[in-house]
Amino acid sequence: MKTPKQLEDLVEDGLIDDVVNRLMSGKEADVYVVRCGDELRCAKIYKDVEKRSFKQAVQYTEGRRVRNTRRARAMGKGTKYGRLENEQSWHNAEVDALKKLADAGVRVPHPYFCLDGVLLMELVTNEEDEVAPRLADVSMSEEVALKDHAKVMESVIRMLCAGLVHGDLSEFNVLVDANGPVIIDLPQAVDAAANNHAQTMLDRDVNNMTRYYSRFAPELKGRLYAKEIWALYQEGKLHPDTKLTGLYEEETDVADVDAVVEEIQAAYAAEQKRLERMGELDQKKQSRWGRNPSRENLRR
């Protein structure tokens, strides 16, 4: 097939030998199968921000650190240079996340490099060495659904323990090979500690996955895995090998309004008494100074 313009330089430089076929076109990138020597790999070409339906919303980039102060200022001002740096930061975020999560034991594609808006990474395949299907295109038994759902929850936990939340996890961002789910698409991954939207994103990720697997395993319906995970994380009790139950007792205590009103009234009464005492003290002082002129008055 004809080599896409974005891959021409990589072919000329010998980093890619041949473009085999176009794999898919997504909301943020076009993906191609390419040949590098004897291996088939995956080339992800990021779309320009103007052409993407998935924008770099503030809630995703919040908390991301930029070490170079000049770059940070330019990105903040939105200059041409800043926009380019912001785009490069978006691309590099996926490479960094893939490496970090692989080290944490999460099943993700291995990244090779990201250059000129192209991410070259491992091509995930099935037992027949064909491109692994998306989870959305796979049917499964109840037993497999329960097993793979547990693997995805383990991946989410390991991600959070590594400090990251996927932020856009669904059946369309998970591939299925012979060993189960593989997490993909991570440019929008957020810092769990520095991003104020991390909990909301984790809830959405976990609920999306649980809802999908519950189609094949109805017993997953109604399970509160997201709340359980976040509660353990906040309490410092979440570990990479944490086993979930899906059970979480939400706080149902109703505020005692009468008790709150009584506390306010008591505080108000105490303040009134304090003011009365201050008034009495002021009167005593004025009376005393009236009988005993000050030294300044004596000098006069």
User: Is there a contact between 206 and 183 (Cβ–Cβ < 8 Å)?
Assistant: no
**pLDDT category, 283, cuts 50, 70, 90?**
low
pLDDT at 229 over 80: yes
User: Is there a contact between 97 and 186 (Cβ–Cβ < 8 Å)?
Assistant: yes
Query: What's at 100, amino acid-wise?
Result: K
Per-residue pLDDT, averaged over 75-88, amounts to 55
pLDDT of residue 66: 47
pLDDT digits (tens, 9 = 90+) for 82-130: 455 556 666 788 999 999 999 999 999 999 999 988 999 999 999 888 9
User: Is there a contact between 125 and 52 (Cβ–Cβ < 8 Å)?
Assistant: no
pLDDT at 43 over 70: yes
The answer for residues whose C-beta is within 8 angstroms of residue 147's C-beta and 6 or more apart is 180
Q: Give CA–CA dist 237/217, Å, rounded.
A: 28
pLDDT of residue 82: 47
pLDDT at 18 over 60: yes
Query: What's at 71, amino acid-wise?
Result: R
pLDDT of residue 134: 96
Average pLDDT, the chain: 83
Q: Give CA–CA dist 227/154, Å, rounded.
A: 15
**pLDDT category, 58, cuts 50, 70, 90?**
low
pTM for this structure? 0.75
pLDDT of residue 190: 93
pLDDT of residue 173: 95
